[in-house]
């Protein structure tokens, strides 16, 4: 017996493998759905448990690609399916129109509210697991953690999740600016400005004010 999704047999052909890392392989099942398969012999405490995967699959997030259905092999939980975002077309965050970028960050913040309210902690998000294409999408949620309510105060968890997104944003922006050969001192200055944001100020609002007189991040940096 092979892999099953929703009690239906599926075939995961290596020629349709989209991505691989130390914990999992990702395959295209069809145009709109991908499947994440956990590798054998990994430490399963590093990835979503069956309970956690089923729990977060019920959460409504638009830009964090939540599990849709659990994957089984020989009746053993082995991963999950999720919405596939086309990586062939990638936009640049630093050249995105300011209003579009702010709107994209607002979508992420809405997802953060959903996750934090459910006591889900972000973990394992890196630039490698992000697609910016008509929106900012986090494609790998396999290391998120479902916490007990007595483990952490909601407000602390929300700030922690928000900080994870800030670090991710800084990494994405810095990497793109470096590829454009922007001076290191200008990149550092921008990152210092980002880090001055108060915890109680939403990132979308802060960036809207920060880049108020620029069309995008590239233009802002060139004026420094």
Euclidean distance between CA atoms 172 and 180, whole angstroms: 13
- Residue 2's pLDDT is what? 84
For 3-83, CATH gives 3.30.200
**Packed helices 98-117 and 154-179: angle between N→C axes, nearest 10 degrees:** 150
pLDDT in tens, 37-94: 999 999 999 999 999 999 999 999 999 999 999 999 999 999 999 999 876 557 899 9
In degrees and rounded to multiples of 5, residue 186 shows phi and psi of: -70, -40
- Residue 145's pLDDT is what? 97
Question: Which residues are paired to 5 by β-bridges?
Answer: 8, 71
Question: Which residues are paired to 27 by β-bridges?
Answer: 17, 35
In degrees and rounded to multiples of 5, residue 133 shows phi and psi of: -150, 100
pLDDT in tens, 102-116: 999 999 999 999 999
Range 133-154 average pLDDT:
93
Same CATH topology for 3-83 and 93-222: the answer is no
- Residue 87's pLDDT is what? 64
Average pLDDT, the chain: 93
pLDDT in tens, 85-141: 876 557 899 999 999 999 999 999 999 999 999 999 999 999 999 999 888 999 999
Topology of domain 93-222, CATH: Transferase(Phosphotransferase); domain 1 (1.10.510)
- Closest by CA position to 146, among listed 63, 47, 76: 47
Question: What is the 8-class DSSP label of residue 64?
Answer: B
Euclidean distance between CA atoms 35 and 11, whole angstroms: 11
Euclidean distance between CA atoms 121 and 164, whole angstroms: 10
The CA-based angle 127-128-131, given to 5 degrees, is 80
For the cut 50, the answer to whether the pLDDT of residue 1 exceeds it is no
So where are the chain's domains?
Answer: 3-83, 93-222
What is the Cα Rg of the chain in Å? 19
Question: Which residues are paired to 136 by β-bridges?
Answer: 132
């Amino acid at each position: 017996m092979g892999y099953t999704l929703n009690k239906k047999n599926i075939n995961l052909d290596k020629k349709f493998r989209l991505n691989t890392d130390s914990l999992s392989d990702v395959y295209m099942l069809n145009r709109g759905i991908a499947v994440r398969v956990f590798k054998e012999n990994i430490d399963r405490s590093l990835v979503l448990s069956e309970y956690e995967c089923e729990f977060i699959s019920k959460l409504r997030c638009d830009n964090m690609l939540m599990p849709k259905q659990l994957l089984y092999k020989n009746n053993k939980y082995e991963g999950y399916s999720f919405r596939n975002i086309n990586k062939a077309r990638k936009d640049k965050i630093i050249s995105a129109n300011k209003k579009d970028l702010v709107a994209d960050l607002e979508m992420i913040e809405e997802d953060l509210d959903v996750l934090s309210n459910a006591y889900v902690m972000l973990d394992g998000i890196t630039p490698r697991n992000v697609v910016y294409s008509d929106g900012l999408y986090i494609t790998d949620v396999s290391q998120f953690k479902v916490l007990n309510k007595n483990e952490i105060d909601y407000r602390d968890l929300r700030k922690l999740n928000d900080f994870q997104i800030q670090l991710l944003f800084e990494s994405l922006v810095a990497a793109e600016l470096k590829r454009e050969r922007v001076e290191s001192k200008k990149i550092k200055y921008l990152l210092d400005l980002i880090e001055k944001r108060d915890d109680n100020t939403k990132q979308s609002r802060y960036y809207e004010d920060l880049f108020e007189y620029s069309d995008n991040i590239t233009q802002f940096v060139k004026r420094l």
